[in-house]
Amino acid sequence: MHIPATTAKLTAQEETKQQTSSALEQCKARIKQVSPQASLSFCSQQFKILDIDIYPIVAAKLQLTLYDIYQELGDKVAAEKMLDEVKNSAAFTQNVDVQYLWLRKKAAEKLYRKSYQEAKTLFEQAFSIAKTQESDIWLAKSYNDLALTEQYLNQYDKALSYYQKSLAIKEALGNDFYTAITLNNLGLIYKKLEKFKESQRYFELSLEHYLRYTSHNVDIHVIGYMSHLYGNLAEIYNINNQFNKKNFYSNKVIEAYNDNLVGDDRLSALINVATIHINANEFTPALDVANTLSEYLTRDDHSFHDVIFYLKAQIATHQKDATQAIKFIESAMDYSDTKQDSLQKMNIYHYASELYYDNGRPYESLVYLKKYQQLHEILLEKKYSENIKVIQSDIENERVQRALAEEQIVSQQKSQKIDKLLNLILGITSVGLLVGFIVSFYIYRKRKAQQHLMTIIESHKQQLFLLSNDDTAEQDDAQQQESTPLSPSELTASFAELLVNTMIDCISIWEKSTKTNKVELADRSQIWTISIDSGRLRTRSLDKYLQVKKLPANPRWRNVVKTCHFILSECHLSNDDRTLLTSHLDQIMQVIKSESLGTS
């Protein structure tokens, strides 16, 4: 078959295009499945072998993926280089996907560096693209981005409004991972507003969605997100006096830190671990963590310097080193004043006020107490703002409405299933009734059989009781037998063999049903004597009835009968074993009866 050259060329191009797209998807999949270092090695190799001139868009997306990996590893220089190369590439002007991804990553970088207004501008540009493209997932992400920016700018009413829109889209899409992120952010904003019960509820909802996501997806990347959430849960449970849960999630933070977190995730985990140790008055491990955190103070990025110095001030106070404590808290205030995180400023100002007061510097203490009170008053105004209450109510109402809509859909699906099942149920009802009748009849027969068995067992117990009370008569018979010659029929070999076979079967059935031995039978029945010979328990009287040659001249047939009755009344026997012993009993009693008639 001849294939035109142009067609063959197109086929080869399509195949190559699929391979390049596959390389990008494989890179993204690796990020979820292996460590950042392993992901970097694989994705870098894919980027090297890619022809950038032919596939500029795939190359740009690979570079943006590499940017994420470098960020996670804390290599800011390499990450910034990736962004710059994408910005200057042809793909940036040609492809809207690349533009949207680049704008969000650049804005997140600005947000991390506390350049909130620049971040807001970039996020708004990305939001415009999302609206133009009418992409639900992009809109959900952009609303969350804008909400986070307004949250850092202390515009809580705007932040809640954006979170409301983001959450509505994410829940409609059914994406647990993205939903968990927004719910966690809502928990953070309510914590800042000192609405701790609401904060706890959103953190717990976030955890539910993370756990649901991880139960169906392999994604080690989510460990960093969950580490932050564990820290938030530990803190909020501590505030709400739920100390068992606080300790549980504190340990979760430490476990997450030990899971080889890297980059900023590791830094955040270290801060959480140090805070947990300080709150628990465990200052020795807190000091070890603080010394590790000190390594980050040499970085050009000062994003967490205020928090680190605040932790070091608390440790120095515990060590009664007031000079160092004041030095650290002043450094914390210097870095905090360059940021707009009012909650962190409040914590630092309040601690500084107490520290100055305890060290005989009341004027400085009063200055920072006033700064704390000013920020707290602003926070209270926003906390009880009518706008926030309305938005909070709207968020709750929307979530309730979505839940009701989902329940209605589920209810309709259940109704359809019920209608289908009704026909099936009607079809099998008659069969079910017949089966029920058969089962009932079987149970009736079974109960009758059990009642009959219980009657038999009770009869054997009564027989055993009567025989036990007949010991005196047996002794008289024995004395009479000693003075009176035994009849020939009583000494027949068949009767002797019958007694021996009966006892052999008794021992065999006893051992099988009780998993014990003949010594245990003698002890529990109290029919046969037990002696000690050379330190071992012996049943010499019973052993004589196991061989015809050793059988006494005047055998105590009552002991054999009593043994049968005891086993039949005390053990759970199979039908065959019960029938066998009953047959032996009948034969023995028939011989005894015939002897009695012959004697009389």
For the chain, how are helix, strand and coil distributed in percent, rounded to 5? 85, 0, 15
What is residue 469's predicted lDDT score, i.e. its pLDDT? 56
Chain centre distance of CA 1: 59
Q: Where do the DSSP E strands lie in 185-234?
A: none
What is residue 9's predicted lDDT score, i.e. its pLDDT? 41
Q: Are 82 and 67 in contact (CB under 8 A)?
A: yes
Residue with tokens 């009758």: 448
What is residue 105's predicted lDDT score, i.e. its pLDDT? 93
End-to-end CA distance of the chain: 116
What is residue 464's predicted lDDT score, i.e. its pLDDT? 55
Half-sphere exposure of residue 109, counting CA atoms within 13 Å on the CB side? 23
Report how far residue 165's alpha carbon sits from residue 160's, in angstroms, rounded to the nearest whole number.
9
Report how far residue 518's alpha carbon sits from residue 537's, in angstroms, rounded to the nearest whole number.
10
What is residue 288's predicted lDDT score, i.e. its pLDDT? 87
What is residue 251's predicted lDDT score, i.e. its pLDDT? 82
Q: Are 301 and 283 in contact (CB under 8 A)?
A: no
Which tokens go with 505? 């079967």
Write down all domains in the chain, each with its CATH number in brackets. Answer: 299-384 (1.25.40.10), 488-599 (no CATH)
What is residue 118's predicted lDDT score, i.e. its pLDDT? 92
> Can you state the angle between helices 518-525 and 493-514, rounded to 10 degrees?
100
What is residue 121's predicted lDDT score, i.e. its pLDDT? 95
- Taking the complete model, does pTM exceed 0.75, yes or no? no
What is residue 414's predicted lDDT score, i.e. its pLDDT? 79
3-state secondary structure of 469: coil
Report how far residue 501's alpha carbon sits from residue 563's, in angstroms, rounded to the nearest whole number.
13
What is residue 18's predicted lDDT score, i.e. its pLDDT? 56
Report how far residue 207's alpha carbon sits from residue 229's, in angstroms, rounded to the nearest whole number.
7
What is residue 53's predicted lDDT score, i.e. its pLDDT? 86
Report how far residue 172's alpha carbon sits from residue 181's, in angstroms, rounded to the nearest whole number.
15
Can you list the residues of the chain whose pLDDT is less than 70?
Answer: 1-21, 256-262, 301-302, 339-341, 382-390, 392, 398-406, 444, 446-491, 597-600
8-state DSSP, 533: E
